[in-house]
């Protein structure tokens, strides 16, 4: 890569430069600024937020374009940056409902009594055992929640600092005991095998196995998919767990983070796409934008995917052969799609009258959050199509309707519906998306209409995003919403590659704070928090 500065380039001095104004970049910048550092954030798009943005999809209609529910943003981050003062407001989400055909449905709730009552219609055994299963899962989740905040220790490193960090980690978790076996099981078992140890009804298992399919190139029978269930149920915006909508859409999270950062003196520039991370004698010295602007700082922090950082911004000449081999093999192949719909009214499900008659949703008259995948085989067949290089003939779909609780997103009486699902491979075998996109779009609508006849006629506009679209808009390699697979060989001390899971890189002064680092994807802010902690430790020890 070229190292020559362009004519008329901007020469500015900061304590650190953050590449990307996604939520993790904003979190990292906030913590560094709180510690007194002068921070510049450079964002390639003309809007901040990364994958947590709210944008117009039709006149008067705004939608959460990529991420669509708040489930993982940690209360600590909300408190630390006073996000409520900066406009963040969490709105309730209904219990999850899964339609099964006709008027039949399963309900899944944080309320055990409601979940058990729903499960009992299909299996008294499964209803009875559910509270025990939930305790088992929550005990494991309690351990994993703590591990999220840990900096992964490299087991292959043999220096004093690593030994001390490893010993400290073991001491902090000395009381975990046999519970660690539960986590090991989930890292290695398929969701199906894990759930089969507890439940007997395939429809009930599908309610839980669904979480193992969200955003992953995997099916419920894929080894290791059980862990992804854990990843999705660890949300704790209200303490113990739970999901919710953000008033104004997911962009309100990053807007609040940006407001908090600016209050601390952080400078944010948009339309500043990075062409190169400057490297001199093995050390990062600054960045060059595609417009030719040159910014200098002793610390560079990338919120971009690690694959993009290493291969596109740093370049092969500055990296060891083993690092290049591993980062090229870091798996980001996505099969997730997103559709954002402006409509006259939300889907009118066949089972809606029964849900209302039974008062199943308490204060809600409409299910704002649903899963369409009636049994385990449905989920597995959706994956089978993708496994062989094609889109699902019957995709699993998550329909959410934020306008049932947030009227700011649509004109009076109108609605926004977000559909998230799978599988739609980044690349098709024997075809291409230019010719197949409309066909698959019809399949998605047909899949909704199987349970909600006539929905298509209520659609005003539909924004349909496939993995290549997601890649092009927010620069996620192959459109992977988690910045890389949540597989056991790409977690903890191997995320994204061995030897560099501690938010550092082979380049001195260059760090990574995005979701390609531990603990992975989702709008949590934890990678940004952890990266800031390690940077400040290095600054204090004069290692940065």
Read off the pTM. Answer: 0.92
Q: Residues 370-395: what's their mean pLDDT?
A: 96
Residue 96 lies in a domain: no
Nearest CA to 480 out of 430, 540, 521, 433 is that of: 521
Residue 312 has pLDDT above 50, yes or no: yes
Residue 203 has pLDDT above 80, yes or no: yes
Q: Retrieve residue 92's tokens.
A: 């309730």
Residue 105 has what pLDDT?
96
Q: Which residue(s) pair with 108 in the sheet? A: 96
Nearest CA to 93 out of 348, 481, 410, 362 is that of: 362
| Domain membership of residue 489 as a residue range | 16-52+70-90+249-329+483-540
Residue 514 lies in a domain: yes
Q: Where are the beta strands (DSSP E) in 265-335?
A: 267-269, 274-280, 283-289, 294-296, 300-302
Residue 239 has what pLDDT?
37
Residue 169 has what pLDDT?
64
Residue 210 lies in a domain: no
Scored b (16 or more CB within 10 A) or e, 112-146 reads: eebbbebbeebbeebbebbeeeeeebeebbebbbe
Q: Residues 265-286: what's their mean pLDDT?
A: 97
- 242: pLDDT confidence band, cut at 50, 70 and 90? low
Residue 246 has pLDDT above 50, yes or no: yes
**Which stretch of 101-105, 428-432, 488-492 has the lowest confidence by average pLDDT?**
488-492
Q: Which residue(s) pair with 289 in the sheet? A: 274
Give the range with max mean pLDDT: 230-234, 243-247, 434-438: 434-438
Chain-centre distance of CA 113, in angstroms? 30
- 241: pLDDT confidence band, cut at 50, 70 and 90? very low
Residue 233 lies in a domain: no
Q: Residues 182-202: what's their mean pLDDT?
A: 90
In whole angstroms, give the CA distance from residue 329 to residue 418. Answer: 32
Residue 249 has what pLDDT?
97
Question: Is residue 239 within 8 Å of 400, Cβ to Cβ?
Answer: no
Residue 10 has pLDDT above 60, yes or no: no
Q: Which residue(s) pair with 421 in the sheet? A: 337, 397
**Which stretch of 200-209, 234-243, 407-416 has the lowest confidence by average pLDDT?**
234-243
Give the dihedral sign, CA 170/229/64/364.
negative
Residue 13 has pLDDT above 80, yes or no: yes
Residue 487 lies in a domain: yes
Please give the span between the terminal C-alpha atoms of the chain, in angstroms, as a whole number: 24
Residue 240 has what pLDDT?
34
Residue carrying structure tokens 């339609």:
99
Nearest CA to 474 out of 29, 43, 96 is that of: 43
Residue 479 has what pLDDT?
93
Q: Which residue(s) pair with 339 in the sheet? A: 419, 464
SS3 state of residue 18: strand
126-136: pLDDT as tens digits: 999 999 999 88
Residue 543 has what pLDDT?
74
Residue 472 lies in a domain: no
SS3 state of residue 222: coil
Q: Residues 69-94: what's their mean pLDDT?
A: 92
Q: What percent of the chain has pLDDT over 90?
A: 77
- 170: pLDDT confidence band, cut at 50, 70 and 90? low
Residue 6 has pLDDT above 70, yes or no: no
Nearest CA to 39 out of 264, 318, 359 is that of: 264
- Within 10 A of 10 (CB to CB), how many other CB atoms are there? 15
- Within 10 A of 239 (CB to CB), how many other CB atoms are there? 7
Q: Residues 412-426: what's their mean pLDDT?
A: 97
Q: At what angle do helices 376-387 and 202-213 cross, to 10 degrees?
A: 40
Residue 208 lies in a domain: no
Q: Residues 39-66: what's their mean pLDDT?
A: 98
Q: Residues 458-485: what's their mean pLDDT?
A: 95
Residue 125 has pLDDT above 50, yes or no: yes
CA distances from 37 to 32, 47, 535 (A): 6, 24, 11
SS3 state of residue 62: strand
In three state form, how does the secondary structure of 158-182 look?
CCHHHHHHHHHHHHHCCCCCCHHHH
Residue 292 has pLDDT above 80, yes or no: yes
Residue 476 has what pLDDT?
92
Q: At what angle do helices 179-188 and 124-148 cross, to 10 degrees?
A: 100
Q: Residues 209-228: what's their mean pLDDT?
A: 91
Residue 25 lies in a domain: yes
Q: Retrieve residue 121's tokens.
A: 């219609």
In whole angstroms, give the CA distance from residue 522 to residue 69. Answer: 10
Give the CATH number, domain containing residue 532: 3.50.50.60
DSSP string, 92-104: E-PPEEEEEETTE
Omega within 30 of 0 (cis) for the link into 56: no
Q: Which helix (H) or strand (E) holds 327?
A: helix 321-328
Residue 5 has pLDDT above 60, yes or no: no
List Cβ neighbours of 409 (8 Å cut-off, separation of 6 or more).
54, 61, 62, 63, 248, 249, 402, 403, 416
Residue 234 has pLDDT above 80, yes or no: no
Q: Residues 172-188: what's their mean pLDDT?
A: 72
Nearest CA to 297 out of 274, 330, 315, 320 is that of: 274
Residue 287 has what pLDDT?
97
Q: Are strands 16-19 and 300-302 parallel, antiparallel or unpaired?
A: parallel
Average pLDDT of the chain is: 91
Q: Count how many domains the chain has.
A: 1
- 293: pLDDT confidence band, cut at 50, 70 and 90? very high
């Amino acid at each position: 890569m070229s190292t020559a500065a362009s004519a008329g380039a901007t020469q500015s001095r900061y304590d650190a430069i953050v590449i990307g104004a996604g939520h993790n970049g904003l979190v990292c910048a906030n913590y560094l600024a709180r510690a007194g550092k002068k921070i510049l954030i450079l964002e390639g798009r003309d809007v901040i937020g990364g994958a947590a943005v709210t944008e117009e999809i039709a006149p008067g209609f705004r939608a959460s374009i990529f991420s669509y529910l708040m489930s993982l943003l940690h209360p600590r981050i909300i408190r630390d940056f006073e996000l409520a003062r900066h406009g963040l407001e969490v709105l309730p989400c209904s219990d999850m409902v899964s339609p099964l055909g006709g008027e039949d449905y399963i309900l899944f709730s944080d309320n055990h009594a409601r979940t058990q009552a729903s499960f009992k219609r299909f299996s008294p055994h499964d209803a009875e055992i559910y509270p025990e299963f939930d305790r088992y899962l929550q005990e494991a989740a309690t351990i994993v929640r703590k591990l999220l905040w840990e900096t992964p220790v490299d087991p292959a490193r043999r220096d004093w600092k690593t030994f001390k960090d490893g010993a400290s980690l073991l001491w902090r978790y000395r009381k975990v005991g046999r519970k660690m076996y539960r986590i090991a099981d989930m890292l290695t078992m398929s969701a199906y095998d894990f759930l089969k140890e507890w439940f007997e009804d395939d429809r009930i298992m599908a309610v839980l196995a669904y979480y193992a399919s969200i955003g992953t190139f995997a099916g419920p029978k894929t080894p290791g998919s059980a862990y992804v269930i854990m990843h999705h149920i660890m949300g704790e915006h209200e303490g113990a767990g739970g999901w919710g909508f953000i008033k104004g859409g997911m962009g309100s999270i990053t807007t609040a983070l940006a407001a908090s950062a600016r209050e601390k003196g952080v400078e944010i520039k948009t339309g500043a796409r990075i062409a190169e991370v400057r490297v001199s004698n093995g050390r990062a010295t600054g960045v060059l934008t595609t417009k030719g602007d040159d910014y200098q700082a002793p610390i560079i922090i990338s919120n971009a995917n690690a694959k993009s950082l290493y291969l596109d911004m740093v370049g092969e000449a500055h990296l060891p052969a083993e690092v290049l081999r591993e980062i090229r093999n870091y798996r980001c192949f996505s099969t997730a799609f997103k559709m954002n719909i402006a409509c006259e009214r939300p889907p009118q499900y066949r089972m809606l009258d029964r849900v209302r008659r039974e008062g199943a949703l308490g204060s809600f008259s409409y299910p704002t959050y649903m899963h369409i995948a009636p049994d385990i085989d449905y989920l597995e067949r959706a994956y089978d199509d993708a496994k062989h290089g094609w889109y699902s003939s019957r995709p699993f779909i998550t329909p959410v309707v934020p306008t049932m609780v947030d009227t700011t997103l649509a004109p009076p009486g109108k609605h926004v519906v977000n559909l998230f699902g799978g599988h739609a491979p980044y690349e098709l075998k024997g075809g291409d998306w230019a010719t197949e996109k409309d066909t698959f779009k019809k399949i998605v609508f047909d899949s909704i209409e199987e349970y909600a006849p006539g929905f298509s006629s209520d659609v005003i506009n539909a924004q349909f995003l496939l993995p290549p679209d997601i890649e092009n808009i927010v620069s996620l390699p192959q459109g992977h919403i988690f910045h890389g697979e949540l597989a056991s060989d790409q977690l903890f001390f191997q995320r994204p590659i061995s030897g560099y899971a501690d938010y550092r890189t082979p380049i001195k002064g260059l760090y990574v704070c995005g979701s390609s680092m531990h603990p992975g994807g989702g709008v949590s802010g934890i990678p940004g928090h952890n990266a800031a902690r390690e940077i400040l430790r290095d600054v204090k020890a004069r290692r940065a």
